[in-house]
Each structure stands twice: as structure tokens, then as C-alpha cells.
Amino acid sequence: MGATTIITLPETADAILAAVTENNVDRQILINNQTQMLQLLQQMQADQTTRSSNILGAISSLTKAVSDLGGNLSAQISENQATMGVLIQLFSAAITALTGVATIDLEQQILQAIERLGEGGPTGVGLDLSSVATRQQPQPTKSGP
Amino acid sequence: MPLNIDPTDGNIVLQSDQVTYIHLSAFTASGAMVPNPTGDVDTVASSGPFAASLAFAVGVMPPGSSDPGDPCVVSTPLVLQSNKANAGGNIGLVITDSAGLVQQVTKNFDIAPDMTALTTGLDMTNSFTVSQAAPTAPGP
């Protein structure tokens, strides 16, 4: 038989135990880290889902707002076009009414023309044949016609 | 008082010994009478081949009329007769409005002498004599 090497077991066991213990601690730390990482990933995923949902909601709201704005703008444009049409008619009629009139101040003519274009304003002048009066005069000396 | 209208042509027949006042008014598009615009000035004139036989002027309706003080067209015949009977008449009226109001369709005018008998009497400008024997009664 060869020489027997005597190993001091307790020291070795202590070292092994210490190494195992240390390894367990590291493994626990690793497990803890993995758990935290998983939780973090889960939280991130949840956050991402919420964020995506919020973004989709915002996009939907924005789409509706743009649609509403488009509708309002369309209605406003139509209204403005109608208003412009009426104004063009008013001024066209005013200009027509003023054509050939040159006896009084131009501003006064414009005001009168616009005033006439209001509801019930006069547009013509003529004789009221229901209101007549006569006065005698000497018979004309010329025979006519 | 109503105007005398010739039924054959719708002309207004003015009596030559009368000045006729006809109410002048502004009208809406629907034909309703409304006051003239503020500052509005109308001028009138006769037209046609016999325009010189009838004078038009803007005046006011006289007291006693239905619209005293309102603007009117004063129509003054300048000849005894101007109508179909002597190949005249049909005299037009042109209204010019300073505010640009358009003239309503207006009838034309004829002038006729007054032929309606109202009184009786002597025409002192027209006499004739014939000799007779002197009366025997001394008078008075």
C-alpha cells in the first residue's frame, strides 16, 4: 500500500460548505434578479399595452376631432360662400341702380341704393293715380295738337 | 277724384282748362307705396312729338287733396286739344330720380277741351243785327 494522505476533512467540508453556501447565495441573487427582471419585463409589457391603448385612443380622438373640424369648416365655408353670394348680389344691384346717376354725392347714392335693397325699401318711382287733384286754369289759346 | 281714362288706349285725358296734380310716390318691388328715400330728388319732363303741348313739373299736392303737401307731378296743358281727334296727344312722362329709383310704367297723356255743359249764357263776342221798324210805344 502506498502512503496515505491524510486530509483534514473538516476544513475541506467547511470550505465546500462555504462554497455551496456562497453558491446558494449567488444562485438566490440570480433567481431574485431573474424574478425582478421578469417582473420588470411584465411591468414594461403592461405599460406598453397601456401606452399603446392610450395612443390608439388618442389617435381615435384626433381622427374624430379632425373629422368634426372638417365638417365645421365645410359648413363655415358654405355659409361664407352664401354670405358672399348675397353681398355680391347686393353690391351688383347697388352698382346697377347707380348706373347713370350722377346728380348727387356718390357716397349718398351708395347709401341710398343699399338702403333701398333692404326689405321693403323702394325700388321704383311713379304716379299714384288714386290721388289726384285739379285746379282751374284759363283755357289755353293755342289750339294744338 | 278719379282720372279720366280713354278706354280705347288707356291714356290719361287731361282737361285743357285744368291743372292736374297727380301724387308722385316711391314703390317697393312688390308695388307697395313707401316714402321717398331721404334726400331723394325727382325731376319730370314730357316726351314725344307733342311734348311742347303739355308741361310737367314736380310740386306738392294742394290743400284739400287727399295727400296735401306730398310730392306730385303738376300737369299743365298748354294747348286746347292734343289727342287722336287732331292727330296729337299720346304725350309721355319721364321721371328721373336722383337716388336711382326706376320709373314705374306710366300711362301717356292726351289733352281735351271741356265739353261738359254746366251753365248757360251769352257769347258776348258773337252777335249779329237785322233792321226792324221803329216801335210805336214810347216806353219805358
E-only strand ranges, B1-140:
12-15, 18-28, 33-34, 42-47, 54-60, 71-77, 92-97, 102-103, 109-112
Is A104 in the B-facing interface, judged by CB distances under 8 Å? yes
pLDDT score for B54: 95
Q: Are the beta carbons of B39 and A104 separated by less than 8 Å? A: yes
Mean pLDDT of chain B: 91
pLDDT score for B110: 95
Model confidence at B90: pLDDT above 90? yes
Model confidence at A112: pLDDT above 80? no
Q: How far apart are CA A58 and CA A76, in angstroms?
A: 26
Model confidence at A47: pLDDT above 60? yes
As assigned by CATH, the class of the B4-112 domain is mainly beta
**Amino acid identity at A124:** G
Q: Are the beta carbons of B25 and A126 separated by less than 8 Å? A: yes
pLDDT score for A20: 81
Closest chain B residue to the Cα of A93, Cα to Cα = B100
Neighbours of B73 (CB within 10 A): 21
Reported as a single tens digit per residue, the pLDDT across A64-77 is 988 888 888 888 88
Q: How far apart are CA B27 and CA B34, in angstroms?
A: 6
pLDDT score for A7: 62
Is A118 in the B-facing interface, judged by CB distances under 8 Å? no
Task: Provide the whole-model pTM.
Answer: 0.54
Rg (CA), chain A: 52
Whose cell is 409589457? That residue is: A45
Q: Are the beta carbons of B81 and A126 separated by less than 8 Å? A: no
pLDDT score for A123: 83
Closest chain A residue to the Cα of B81, Cα to Cα = A144
Least confident of A64-73, B78-87, B122-131: A64-73
Model confidence at A49: pLDDT above 70? yes
E-only strand ranges, chain A:
122-136
User: Which grid cell is A21?
Assistant: 453556501
Q: Which residues of B touch A142 (CB under 8 A)?
A: 53, 78-80
pLDDT score for A89: 76
Identify which of B27, B35, B107 has the shortest CB distance to residue A124. Answer: B27
Reported as a single tens digit per residue, the pLDDT across B14-70 is 999 999 999 999 988 878 888 888 888 999 999 999 999 999 999 999 999 988 999
Q: How far apart are CA B113 and CA B19, in angstroms?
A: 13
